[in-house]
Structure 1
Amino acid sequence: MNAVSPVVDAPSSGTGLVTAEAVALDLRPARLGSRAIALGIDILVQLALAAVVMMVVGVVLAMLPDSLVDDALVGAVMRIVIVVVLLAYPTIVETKTNGRSPGKAAMGLRVIREDGGPITVRHAFTRSLVGFTVEWPGLLLPFLTWAGSLATMIASDKGRRLGDLAAGTLVVHERRPVPFRFVPGMPAGLAPWAATADLSAVDDDLAAEVRQYLSRAQELSEPHAGSLQAMLSYEVGARVTPPPPPGTPPWLFLCAVLAERRRRSAAQLAAGRLVTERVLPGFGRTTRPFPAFPVRPASPSR
């Protein structure tokens, strides 16, 4: 049987992005909290880079003749260092890493285009230039532009800042939380039959398909849910002997088969560990004692 691809209702995309092939991208836009932490990490990296660059520049200036080093040269060098650290560095990093600066990489974020594609040097430079002038550090009216950038990000349904609006980009989460999916256990009354059934023909791939269906059955819409249940019941029923008791609903039949396979796997694992313990006592167990933490005696009651 080929891998089953259940048809489910399309989840709503947090970004609303649709590719040119009419494929909706289910991505979560990054909000103020995660982006603020990522920005803090990037600022620390930029400060460290600025310190290293200034150290190198100081050594180079110290090696030059005093007649060449004046206030104009020092001022020009300082401006170049600021541009390199605050404009060139983020542009190069985001371009080479496809939108993942050190702070964004630590927080699991990435900068993408509005159409979901990777950013180019034009997008990275525009973001860095807008940030350099009106956001962070914001050379033009810093406090006023900071408030404007913060208000723009809060008001945007996708958490976009001024640099994102100018460059046509947005920041999204690369990682998605995996929801807990409940898989039903052994149905009442089918345990005696399942214990004597031959399940050797039910391979891991088919069992994985059954597990996926049972864990997502509530998300499936009709008629897809019914047709998928019928397909899996027919495929599993052709491989299991003896058949389940007459009148067993397909749902309970699939639950019983999956629960019995899980029970037998756990029993085999426990038996294997028991044999290993008999042959190689203590194998796989740590021999280092855990440190004993001092416990303060309770004060006597008065």
Structure 2
Amino acid sequence: MSEVVTGDAVVVEVRVAQTPSRALAIIIDMVVQITVLFGAYAIVGAFAPISDPAMLQATMIVLVVLALVGYPVLFESLSRGRSLGKLALGLRVVSDDGSPERFRQALFRGLAGVVEFWLLSGAPALIASLVSQRGKRLGDVFAGTIVISDRAPRDRGQWIMMPPSLAHWAATLELSQLPSEVAQAARQYLSRWHDLSPQVQHEMGIRIATQVASFVSPAAPAGVPPHAYLSAVLAERRRREQERFARQAARGAYPQTTPPPPYAHPQPGPQPYTQPQQSPQPYAQPQPGSQPYTQPQSYPQPGPQPYSGGNGARRPPAAPAPEPPQATPGGFAPPQ
């Protein structure tokens, strides 16, 4: 990973392309160029007996220039930094500030590529890419560009887990107003959380958590980190979706000749299936007279009872806890 400062003075992390992938992309491009040259030579050679020798020689020079210089320049300019080899390996050429590659930069790279790859067999490009921290070859240094990997890393396949200390609070959330796009943005942030620097983790987490908090109630307890808040919201949302799908499957999975299972509603009606009180849930509401969840020490609240309310309602404490130093919007904890 490498940091890129955009024109708006925003630091963005990009994944710099590795030398083996870049070398393979260059080999693919060179194979395409050689194939085009052989095809052009065959076509021009067919007209050699009836063509002027000077015209034939000029045509061959133009074809060589188009194949060696015009191919990468046109492809990278029209496809926003991609040639056929880079497209096959998920690479892209961008400016040093993260903006799309310009025609001037593609031209510098194409001209330098003739010297680096075709005249000197790629030795200067290999040495320069090994010395540079961002893997730049000479054409990138002259053009002010960088080659990045445009493909996102594979998902680790891990579920978004519910923080145990927030399970009691998450069971009281109102999630019906949360848009799917916002939830998807939070899910992508959590999947990339370990690949981000601590500063980017916190800044992006605060922005996404504040956006999610505008659609979700009640508010998070004071001092909750943004990633923990988003994990609790998404885990509770997934749990409720799984319960809804299970109820839908239970209504239509059993024919009339098969007796209903013990947990299914015996008679059809306006509400064919209701949530049984005796069935334990991962984050079930506490019964009166019991206290299944205790207030975690990491998020202290004033008063003897952290959450109180009548008729099963959950309300935040009457007196909010004092904000820690350098508090961030939404009550989320600052980075350590």
- The answer to whether TM tops 0.5 is yes
Q: Which deviations, in whole Å up to 9, do the C-alpha atoms of 1:38-76 show, x marking residues without a partner?
A: 1122122212322332232233335x2xxx555x66554
Whole-angstrom CA distance in 2 between matches of 1:274 and 1:182? 25
Task: Verify: 1:135 aligned to 2:112, yes or no.
Answer: no
SS of alignment partner, residue 236 of structure 1? coil
- Consecutive unaligned residues in structure 2, runs of 5 or more: 256-336
Whole-angstrom CA distance in 2 between matches of 1:26 and 1:137? 33
- Which residue is 1:121 aligned to? 103
- Deviation of the 1:32 alpha carbon: 0.9
Whole-angstrom CA distance in 1 between matches of 2:251 and 2:141? 64
Instruction: Confirm or deny: 8 A CA contact 1:111 1:169 kept in the other structure.
Output: yes
- Which residue is 2:145 aligned to? 169
- Deviation of the 1:232 alpha carbon: 5.0
Taking only aligned residues, the RMSD between alpha carbons, in angstroms, comes to 4.5
Task: Verify: 1:149 aligned to 2:136, yes or no.
Answer: no
- Which residue is 1:158 aligned to? 134
State the identity as a percent: 33
- Which residue is 1:208 aligned to? 183
- Which residue is 1:26 aligned to? 13
Whole-angstrom CA distance in 2 between matches of 1:130 and 1:60? 33
Whole-angstrom CA distance in 1 between matches of 2:185 and 2:47? 68
Instruction: Confirm or deny: 8 A CA contact 2:22 2:86 kept in the other structure.
Output: yes
Equivalent of residue 93 in structure 1, options 75, 78, 96? 75
- Which residue is 1:7 aligned to? none
- Consecutive unaligned residues in structure 1, runs of 5 or more: 1-12, 239-246, 280-302
SS of alignment partner, residue 157 of structure 1? coil
Kindly provide the amino acid, as one letter, of the partner of residue 150 in structure 1. Answer: L
Higher relative contact order (CA closer than 8 Å, sequence separation 6+): 1
Whole-angstrom CA distance in 2 between matches of 1:234 and 1:82? 60
Distance 1:48 1:271, change over 3 A: farther
- Which residue is 1:17 aligned to? 4
Kindly provide the amino acid, as one letter, of the partner of residue 94 in structure 1. Answer: E
Pairing of 1:1-302 with structure 2 (within 5 A): 14=2, 16-62=3-49, 64=50, 68=51, 70=53, 75-132=57-114, 134-138=115-119, 142-143=120-121, 146-177=122-153, 183-185=160-162, 187=164, 202-205=176-179, 208=183, 215=190, 232=213, 236-237=217-218, 259-277=235-253
Instruction: Confirm or deny: 8 A CA contact 2:177 2:216 kept in the other structure.
Output: no
SS of alignment partner, residue 93 of structure 2? strand
What's the TM-score, normalizing by structure 2?
0.56
Distance 1:24 1:83, change over 3 A: same
Instruction: Confirm or deny: 8 A CA contact 2:16 2:148 kept in the other structure.
Output: yes
SS of alignment partner, residue 136 of structure 1? helix
Instruction: Confirm or deny: 8 A CA contact 2:117 2:123 kept in the other structure.
Output: no
Instruction: Confirm or deny: 8 A CA contact 1:202 1:236 kept in the other structure.
Output: no
Instruction: Confirm or deny: 8 A CA contact 2:16 2:149 kept in the other structure.
Output: yes
Distance 1:269 1:60, change over 3 A: farther
Instruction: Confirm or deny: 8 A CA contact 1:130 1:162 kept in the other structure.
Output: yes
Q: Which deviations, in whole Å up to 9, do the C-alpha atoms of 1:19-46 show, x marking residues without a partner?
A: 2321123212222111111112212221
